[in-house]
Amino acid sequence: MPPFRSMNVLWLCGVTLLGALGCKSGAKAHEDAQYGEPVGIQMEASGGLPAFEVALAVTRGVVVDPLVPPITTVIHQGLVACPRVVQTAATSGQVIQIAFSVRQGHLAKLSVSGVESDGCLAQMLDGRSIQLDDKVGAGRAHPELDVLAQVRFGAKAP
């Protein structure tokens, strides 16, 4: 599992982080998706990756806290498998935007924009399984979930 800062997750002001990355809160990556307030996560360098930040928003009404570790783990694994994408993003300062849905424990409806020129990240993440807590937010089960993540390299972990 990738290392998080401060008790596994450093919560930043998500709206400020998404604003710095050029996306407004509630922006839609999928036409039918409705996202809640974003959170920011600062990831330490690990697995050959430099430190980076992730702005993360999920389906409106779903509590994001328990979803941060499994979602950032899957993103981290995809980035580790695509060093060219990481190198390009880190040197250019471009943001990688990843939008997907989780359906029956697998990533679906995946779209990647930003640095994704060779298709590596989309190929590594599409259809990948992800373990989510069965009960997320107000005790409701959420078998379907929409996720929007923006990744920026060059972040300095405190």
pLDDT digits (tens, 9 = 90+) for 8-49: 333 333 333 444 434 433 333 566 789 999 999 999 999 899
Between 6 and 39, the more confident residue is: 39
For the stretch 68-115, pLDDT in tens is 999 999 999 999 999 999 999 999 999 999 999 998 889 999 999 988
The per-residue DSSP string of the chain comes to ---BSSTT---B-HHHHHHHTT--TT--SSTT--B---EEEEEPPBTTBPPEEEEEEEBTTS--GGGHHHHHHHHHHHHHT-HHHHHHHHHH-PPEEEEEEEETTEEEEEEEESS-SSSHHHHHHTT-B----SB-STT-B-SEEEEEEEEEE-----
Kindly state the tokens that stand for 9.
């997750």
What pTM was estimated for this model as a whole? 0.77
